[in-house]
Amino acid sequence: MVNLDWKNLPFGYEKTNYNVRCYYKNGSWGKLEISSSDHINIHMAATSLHYGQEAFEGLKAYRGKDGKVRLFRWEENAKRMQSSARGILMAEVPTELFHKAILKVVELNQEFIPPYGTGAALYLRPLLIGTGPQVGVKPSNEYLFMVFTSPVGPYFKEGFKPVDMLLCRSFDRAAPLGTGHIKVGGNYAASLASLKKGHDLGYASVIYLDAKEKQYIDECGPANFFGIKGDTYVTPKSHSILPSITNMSLIELVKDLGFKAERRPVHIDELKAFDEVGACGTAAIISPIRSITDESNDIRYEYCKDGKPGPVSTKIYERLLAIQFGEEPDVHGWVEVLDF
């Protein structure tokens, strides 16, 4: 195992030994290739550079208490990448190829999987880009699928501690009938200016409203939003929201705890009625929200008034981590234990 400060890893890029690649040409996918280079050669007229034909995923490999390595719900990542590919007319990565690639990249970089108990994991970034040259606006006929890795700590530097967020009315993340529901780079490019604004004002992230009416909660920065109201877990439903695999899992976990779960439009007026609110996603897992400040009228919604995450958020956060690290039984069949 490499010598890293595992407990203080940022959520960033750390070079590992290998990445894996596969090329789509002449209507079919080639063989999986192994590379030690951090770079790719790409045509200057590639559609990914000019017309945004790019999609990516994020998932993690966890080293459990028993020393075994686990992948969490990778099939959902494969499905979501296929949905993204369909959304912007790219060649879909077959599930079998996706699985083979992530297994190989984890196997090749085992020494970078953080030890159990450090709170860190090995992050996997599957990437699909159009590589064929086009000057007219049309899909590529060639694609590159690759997976690289990096050991990471928490996405928000605060970890599982309450953070402050800005309700952002001056920017839209995605159009109602646009690409908000798929994981493509253009959505994140559209969020950079607003995220910088939030960070410059001292907030951990921003919360977007729907682009059409500016009345309903949309995404929560790079994550999904959820709120706890009494015995109910509430998360927004919208065509412009990326379906989070973490959020999907939390919905099942709150049901296991006897709670109700609702996925529906969430009006901003409901913010004052929630007992707890948070952001959730693969990178952050759960980030409890301490306050939400509405930039347009100086309204501030406060939660976690004792300075600690809420009890329901804490329970589902700990339960999800326990499943991912093999500390509790995987009754839902979400985890694949790797054999190497």
Q: Do residues 128 and 20 lie in contact, with contact meaning Cβ atoms separated by under 8 Å?
A: no
Residue 130 has a CB neighbour count (10 Å cut-off) of 29
**One-character DSSP codes across 208-272:** EEPTTTS-BEEEETTBEEEEEETTEEEEE--TTS---HHHHHHHHHHHHTT-EEEEE--BGGGGG
Give SS3 for 127: strand
Q: What percent of the chain has pLDDT over 90?
A: 93
CATH for the stretch 6-152: 3.30.470.10
- The answer, yes or no, to whether residue 284 has pLDDT greater than 90, is no
Packed helices 95-108 and 74-87: angle between N→C axes, nearest 10 degrees: 120
Query: Percent of the chain, pLDDT > 70?
Result: 100
Query: Model pTM?
Result: 0.96
pLDDT in tens, 245-279: 999 999 999 999 999 999 999 999 999 999 999 99
Could you say which DSSP state residue 325 is in? T
Which tokens sit at 95?
């599930």
Q: Would you say domain 163-324 falls under CATH 3.20.10.10?
A: yes
Per-residue model confidence as pLDDT tens digits over 74-93: 999 999 999 999 999 999 99
109 neighbors 125 (Cβ within 8 angstroms): no
pLDDT band of residue 222 (cuts 50, 70, 90) is confident
Listed by start position, the domains of the chain span 6-152, 163-324
Cα gap 334→314, rounded to integer Å: 20
Q: Is the per-residue pLDDT at 8 higher than 80?
A: yes
In whole angstroms, what is the distance from residue 139 CA to residue 270 CA? 42
pLDDT band, very low/low/confident/very high, at 340 (cuts 50, 70, 90): confident
Across residues 193-207, what is the average pLDDT? 95
Distance CA 290, CA 266 (A): 19
Per-residue pLDDT for 229 more than 90? Answer: yes
1: pLDDT strictly greater than 80 = no
The Cα–Cα gap between 83 and 98 comes to: 14
Task: Answer yes or no: 183 catalytic.
Answer: yes
Residue carrying the six token digits 């369909």: 86
Best CA proximity match to 237, nearest among 213, 219, 255 = 219
Question: Residue-wise over 16-48: b if at least 16 C-beta within 10 A, else e?
Answer: bebbbbbbbeeeebeebeeeeeeeeeeeeebbb
Please give the distance of CA 336 from its chain centroid, rounded to a whole number.
Answer: 19
| Catalytic residue chosen out of the listed positions 25, 60, 104, 183 | 183
pLDDT digits (tens, 9 = 90+) for 293-336: 998 888 999 999 899 999 999 999 999 999 999 999 999 999 99
Using alpha carbons, select from 193, 63, 55, 172 the residue that is nearest to residue 115.
63
pLDDT tens track for 121-164: 999 999 999 999 999 999 999 999 999 999 999 887 777 899 99
Q: Alpha-carbon distance 286 to 77, whole Å?
A: 18
Cα–Cα dist 190/188, whole Å: 5
Q: Could you tell me how far CA 62 lies from the centroid of its own chain?
A: 16
- Mean pLDDT for 172-184 is 94
